[in-house]
A and B are shown apart, each in its own frame.
Chain A
Amino acid sequence: MKSRKPIPLLKLRKRKHSQPGQSKKDQNLNINQNEDTDQEQAVPIHLHRELKKNIEYIKQMVGNSSDIVIREFDLGQTGEIKIAIFYTDGLADKSFVNDFILESLMVNIRTANLGSDVLSKKNIYEIIKSHSLPAGEINELVDFNKVFYHILSGDTVVLMDGFLKGLSIGSRGWADRGVQEPSSQTVVRGPKDGFSETLRTNTALIRRRIKDPNLRIETKQIGKKTQTDVSIIYLKDVADEKLVQEVKARLKKINIDAILESGYIEELIQDETYSPFPTVYNTERPDSVAGGILEGRIAIVVDGTPFVLLVPALFVHFFQSSEDYYQRADIATLIRFLRYFAFFLALITPSAYIAVTTFHQEMIPTPLLISLSSQREGVPFPALVEALMMEVTFEILREAGVRMPRAIGSSISIVGALVIGQAAVEAGIISASMVIIVSLTAISSFVSPTFNMGISVRILRFIFMFLAATFGLFGIILGLIMMVLHLNSLRSFGIPYLAPNAPFILKDQKDNFLRLPHWSLHSRPALINQQETVKENTASPKPPQPDEANQ
């Protein structure tokens, strides 16, 4: 192992702030530290010295919004200091605001029995800031943009009469779905927690898995109207510095008024828009994200969605499930091969059927050919029309099943299985073999561990069906060549999409189609990771040598 450079003391002290393990609210500490100040914003309007005017301005800006709470009160024994707090009902933790902000400002300061010379109008700001607020996260505010940002994201803002600045106190706490099992990617073996809609919870789930001071969580607000928090998370020293800069640059370029889901970000930063293949990975599973970060990839967490993005995302990543690393290596390898096989089946089964039955009947063994043609005897359509009808029907069924309230779900399966499957065959509209083909295709397309790769297959399948209907197997192979050419032309954040297969990287084959045992996965992926490539040095486990005394 290479020895690391000693870290200067100063740096260590800084890092301490971002250590996890304090109370949930205190983790809010680091969110605003890395705020990008150069963000495009309206010309900042500075706070006024008079509290009254400030309150008026805020009231004017938020209008009659019923959820903005403004509480004015007087401070000090004589009550000559006017003060007001602002927070958004529902976003701020009410008990925290009452117990720690209001109580300390209204009650505790009085009982502290400070002399009137200490608690004067002049130094009240300093006293409140440094002595009387028992809260972890405190920010100084000078302009209204910041004031509104903090109020509307759940913090409590304190403004005092006679000062050009105010304070914001981290008091975010709203109704949250909590950490639940992810619904889109379930595993048999592995952690069952999933991301939720709150950014802080999500970063905490990642931080809990990687307790390394080098794990960087950098946050900025994107969206002029929504001011959505977007964090990029990476391991410094493991992630390629150039890649980090590239991700930051692409995020900075975004100029949009709303980010409602990470899909917005995905589309705004991906390399190639006109491609059926995804070049950004999304997942609900913290363990997948942690694994990706440890490979040197960069996670992008967006507030308001449980789907976290991982870049760069290569073709092979969409065929790897985090469970592969929890299962035995040989089983994981077999399952990976199965996934690629299923991908292939989902892609070309219908088209191969069309090609063979229309152009290459001689390929089918004679008994099978006879049984096939006797089935197709009563069917009035050519194979392409037959296949298209069934595939479209299936796509409709699937779409209906996804959007449908759960209570009606069972009727879908009855309609699907009985009416469309059995009755269509009995009525002689389609052949039984076509039902088998479509079912096989459908099942195969569900094997992919990620949803978006399944969708690309669905689109391409139809193109292949048309190619097969016009040029048989010749059309299919040309389609495949086109597809591979297209895949090869894709890049995800500068990294060839089909790596490590093309360009072929021997070193990375240990975790590609194969998943070798953990003790042999010595290095991180070559192209993604440029520095600190050695991952582990465990020797392969060996049974203890037979002890002579035991024999």
Chain B
Amino acid sequence: MENVKISSFQLFTLIYIFILGTTVIFPVGADAKQAAWISIFFGLLSGLPLLLMYYYLNKQYTNLLLTEYCIKILGKYIGTMIGILYILFFLYGAARDVRDVMELTPLFLYGTPSWAIAFMLILPILYGLYLGIEVIGRTSEIFFPYIVLTVILVVVFVIFSDLVKIENLRPITEPGWETVLRTTRKEAWMAPFGEMICFTMIFAYLKKPKLILKVGVAGVVSSGLVLVLIHILIFSVLGSEARNTSIAPLLRMVQKINIGDIIQRLDAFFMIWLIVNVYFKVTVFMYAAVIGGATIFKVSKSYLVIPSGLIVFITSIFIAGSYTAHYAQSDFVLKNVYPIFAVYIPLLLCVVTFVRNKIKKRKPRSAENF
């Protein structure tokens, strides 16, 4: 663990950008048709208990990272093994997000090979990892106003371009509540909100550990609501059919912006905005992996930066053959693999800790009785 601290505002900005991340680009929850935004909203709601769980764990072991208290709770061998699994999971998550950007390459740099894009994206990430979480936190603080202002601008532009058609959202629950909930469980729950597990590797750096829950909830709720808002906007502009079949519905919506023939074709600018989002998302994932490796293998973080960068780079290229395969794989992973890491293992850790605490508390009492 690095010997630095980050401020609560920095953590907030990291969480905010992380949640928006790539989820804002892709047609999340396409199964739920025009009710996908409700799925995301439910995802937000069901993400909060996860946050509570992570907070509980961190509260028991302040100043320790997930990989460290795994060992404390489950013992040296099982704990280390689970820690290594987590590192692989984080690396996979990072690679998946890099792949997301690679899939978008033809939309903004036609003709550039997508591996070059991945390579260029990973370079500043490695530089950031090398400099440490303090610098990453401060950098997210600098880019935060830009991220927020751009969203506000887009909302304003879309409204002023007269693109919003409320009827596109109706009937609100056409697919039925069951489908909406199933989509939540399948995609929207894990995709941005379950990935918050990365922050168990970062919470310990907070200057005021008491504020973790507050900052975490504030970050998740605000960015979750922005996410919902953007998806409502996309639906009302594009309609459910166009939205769910497009690779990047957000870009498609932005392309439609046209105010007085002057403000138009902003999609390239938007691509930049997305890159900043993805940059921080991948950075957080990779940071979690690198710092986890550093704590488990007891080496300096700097040694792990380049190897993990290589792993992510190669994985992101060979993870899937095509966009469809990537998408199908994402579906499968979000449904089956993510919950293990984001829900079940933390839950197990929570239960073990809880029970242990109970036993510990009872012991002295029983000693008194004798």
Residue ranges of A at the interface with B (Cβ–Cβ < 8 Å): 359-360, 362-363, 365, 471-478, 481-482, 484-486, 488-489, 496, 498, 501-504
A-B pairs with beta carbons under 8 Å apart, 7 shown = A360-B108, A474-B120, A475-B120, A477-B272, A481-B276, A485-B128, A488-B138
CB-defined interface of B305-318 with A at 8 Å, one 1/0 digit per residue? Answer: 00000000000000
Collect the chain B residues with CB atoms within 8 Å of residue A504's CB.
Answer: 7, 9-10, 141
B151 to chain A, nearest CB (A): 17
Contacting residue for B138 out of A474, A476, A481, A496, CB 8 A: A496
Q: Kindly report which residue of chain B lies nearest to residue A364, judged by CB atoms.
A: B265
Contacts known (A474-B109, A474-B275, A489-B131); A481 close to B268, Cβ less than 8 A: no
Interface residues in B281-296 by Cβ distance below 8 A to A read: none
Collect the chain A residues with CB atoms within 8 Å of residue B109's CB.
Answer: 359, 471-472, 474
A503 to B134, CA, bound (A): 9
Residue ranges of B at the interface with A (Cβ–Cβ < 8 Å): 7, 9-10, 108-109, 112, 116-117, 120-121, 123-124, 127-128, 131, 135-136, 138-139, 141-143, 261-262, 264-266, 268-269, 271-272, 275-276, 279
Q: Are B142 and A482 in contact (CB under 8 A)?
A: no
Contacts known (A471-B109, A471-B112, A485-B135); A478 close to B275, Cβ less than 8 A: yes
Q: Are B264 and A485 in contact (CB under 8 A)?
A: no
Contacts known (A365-B262, A484-B143); A474 close to B108, Cβ less than 8 A: yes
Contacting residue for B141 out of A474, A481, A482, A503, CB 8 A: A503
Q: Are B123 and A485 in contact (CB under 8 A)?
A: no
Q: Are B268 and A485 in contact (CB under 8 A)?
A: no
Contacts known (A360-B268, A474-B117); A501 close to B276, Cβ less than 8 A: no
Collect the chain A residues with CB atoms within 8 Å of residue B271's CB.
Answer: 473-474
A431 to B272, CA, bound (A): 27
A134 to chain B, nearest CB (A): 61
A498 to chain B, nearest CB (A): 6
Collect the chain A residues with CB atoms within 8 Å of residue B108's CB.
Answer: 360, 472-474
B302 to chain A, nearest CB (A): 13
A488 to B131, CA, bound (A): 9
A16 to chain B, nearest CB (A): 46
Q: Are A502 and B142 in contact (CB under 8 A)?
A: yes
A486 to B124, CA, bound (A): 10
Q: Kindly report which residue of chain A lies nearest to residue B138, judged by CB atoms.
A: A502
Collect the chain A residues with CB atoms within 8 Å of residue B261's CB.
Answer: 365
Q: Are A478 and B121 in contact (CB under 8 A)?
A: yes
Chain B residues touching A, majority SS: helix
A502 to B261, CA, bound (A): 38
Q: Are B268 and A488 in contact (CB under 8 A)?
A: no
A255 to B163, CA, bound (A): 69
Collect the chain B residues with CB atoms within 8 Å of residue A486's CB.
Answer: 127
A503 to B135, CA, bound (A): 10
Contacting residue for B142 out of A365, A477, A489, A498, CB 8 A: A498
Q: Kindly report which residue of chain A lies nearest to residue B143, judged by CB atoms.
A: A484
Collect the chain B residues with CB atoms within 8 Å of residue A360's CB.
Answer: 108, 268
Collect the chain A residues with CB atoms within 8 Å of residue B279's CB.
Answer: 478, 481
Collect the chain B residues with CB atoms within 8 Å of residue A501's CB.
Answer: 141-142
A449 to B367, CA, bound (A): 74
Contacts known (A362-B265, A485-B128, A503-B141); A471 close to B120, Cβ less than 8 A: yes
Q: Kindly report which residue of chain A lies nearest to residue B7, judged by CB atoms.
A: A503
Collect the chain A residues with CB atoms within 8 Å of residue B136's CB.
Answer: 485
Most buried by B among A362, A484, A488: A488
A307 to B78, CA, bound (A): 63
Contacting residue for A485 out of B121, B124, B266, B269, CB 8 A: B124
Q: Kindly report which residue of chain A lies nearest to residue B134, judged by CB atoms.
A: A488
A482 to B283, CA, bound (A): 13
A472 to B120, CA, bound (A): 12
Q: Kindly report which residue of chain B lies nearest to residue A471, judged by CB atoms.
A: B120
B153 to chain A, nearest CB (A): 16
Shortest 10 CB-CB contacts between residues of A and residues of B = A502-B138, A502-B141, A488-B138, A488-B135, A360-B268, A477-B272, A489-B131, A482-B124, A481-B124, A489-B135
Collect the chain B residues with CB atoms within 8 Å of residue A359's CB.
Answer: 109
Collect the chain A residues with CB atoms within 8 Å of residue B269's CB.
Answer: 363, 473
A362 to B270, CA, bound (A): 13
Q: Kindly report which residue of chain A lies nearest to residue B108, judged by CB atoms.
A: A474
A26 to B276, CA, bound (A): 61
Q: Are A473 and B268 in contact (CB under 8 A)?
A: yes
Q: Are B264 and A474 in contact (CB under 8 A)?
A: no
A362 to B107, CA, bound (A): 12
A476 to B268, CA, bound (A): 12
A488 to B271, CA, bound (A): 24
Collect the chain B residues with CB atoms within 8 Å of residue A476's CB.
Answer: 272
Collect the chain A residues with CB atoms within 8 Å of residue B135's CB.
Answer: 485, 488-489
A88 to chain B, nearest CB (A): 52
A498 to B139, CA, bound (A): 10
Q: Are A498 and B138 in contact (CB under 8 A)?
A: yes
Q: Are B7 and A477 in contact (CB under 8 A)?
A: no
A484 to B137, CA, bound (A): 11
Q: Kindly report which residue of chain A lies nearest to residue B110, judged by CB atoms.
A: A359
Collect the chain A residues with CB atoms within 8 Å of residue B268's CB.
Answer: 360, 362-363, 472-473
Having A478-B120, A488-B135, one finds 12 other A-B pairs with CB under 8 Å, namely A362-B268, A477-B276, A481-B143, A482-B123, A482-B124, A482-B127, A484-B143, A485-B135, A486-B127, A488-B138, A489-B131, A502-B142
Collect the chain B residues with CB atoms within 8 Å of residue A477's CB.
Answer: 272, 275-276
Q: Are A473 and B272 in contact (CB under 8 A)?
A: yes
A471 to B272, CA, bound (A): 12
Contacts known (A363-B265, A474-B109); A485 close to B139, Cβ less than 8 A: yes
A250 to B112, CA, bound (A): 49
A477 to B127, CA, bound (A): 15
Collect the chain A residues with CB atoms within 8 Å of residue B10's CB.
Answer: 502-504
